């Protein structure tokens, strides 16, 4: 049996290792591209939120009411009766301590 014979176990093992290595490289490239795309999409969303919208803190008042500060209303040309989208992210909970 010669070394160039396709049934040589050493050559078959060597080819299998090479194919496995190429498959790993391909997987890692695809994974890195997916991560890069995810990060780019995340930053695009953040840019969109900060470019078209106002971000501010406000306190929840009685009845669940919140107020949009005047500067943000002016910047976004929001007037009484306008419909707006609100995304709520709790920052800090200020609850009265229950008396024991």
Distances (CA, A) of 9 to 5, 13, 21, 44, 48: 9, 6, 18, 52, 58
Q: Is residue 2 part of a domain?
A: no
Q: Is residue 96 part of a domain?
A: no
Q: Is residue 70 part of a domain?
A: yes
Q: Is residue 82 part of a domain?
A: no
Is the separation of the CB atoms in 76 and 54 below 8 Å? yes
Q: Is residue 34 part of a domain?
A: yes
Range of the domain at 31: 9-75
Q: Is residue 100 part of a domain?
A: no
Q: Cβ atoms within 10 A of the Cβ of 5, count? A: 9
Is the separation of the CB atoms in 93 and 87 below 8 Å? no
Res 22: pLDDT: 94
Q: Which residue has the higher pLDDT, 48 or 75?
A: 75
Number of structural domains (the chain) is 1
Q: Is residue 80 part of a domain?
A: no
Q: Is residue 14 part of a domain?
A: yes
Q: What is the pTM of this model?
A: 0.41
Res 85: pLDDT: 84
Work out the pLDDT band at 21, boundaries 50, 70, 90: very high
**pLDDT tens digit string along 68-90?**
999 889 988 999 999 988 888 88
**Residue 5: is its pLDDT beyond 60?**
no
């Amino acid at each position: 049996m010669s070394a160039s014979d396709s049934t040589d176990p050493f050559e078959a093992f060597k080819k299998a290792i090479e194919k496995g290595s190429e498959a790993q490289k391909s997987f890692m490239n695809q994974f890195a591209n997916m991560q890069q795309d995810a990060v780019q999409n995340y930053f695009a969303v953040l840019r969109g939120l900060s470019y078209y919208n106002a971000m501010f803190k406000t306190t929840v008042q009685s009845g669940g009411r919140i107020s949009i500060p005047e500067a943000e209303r002016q910047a976004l040309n929001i007037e009484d009766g306008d419909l707006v989208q609100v995304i709520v992210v709790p920052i800090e909970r200020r609850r009265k301590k229950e008396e024991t």
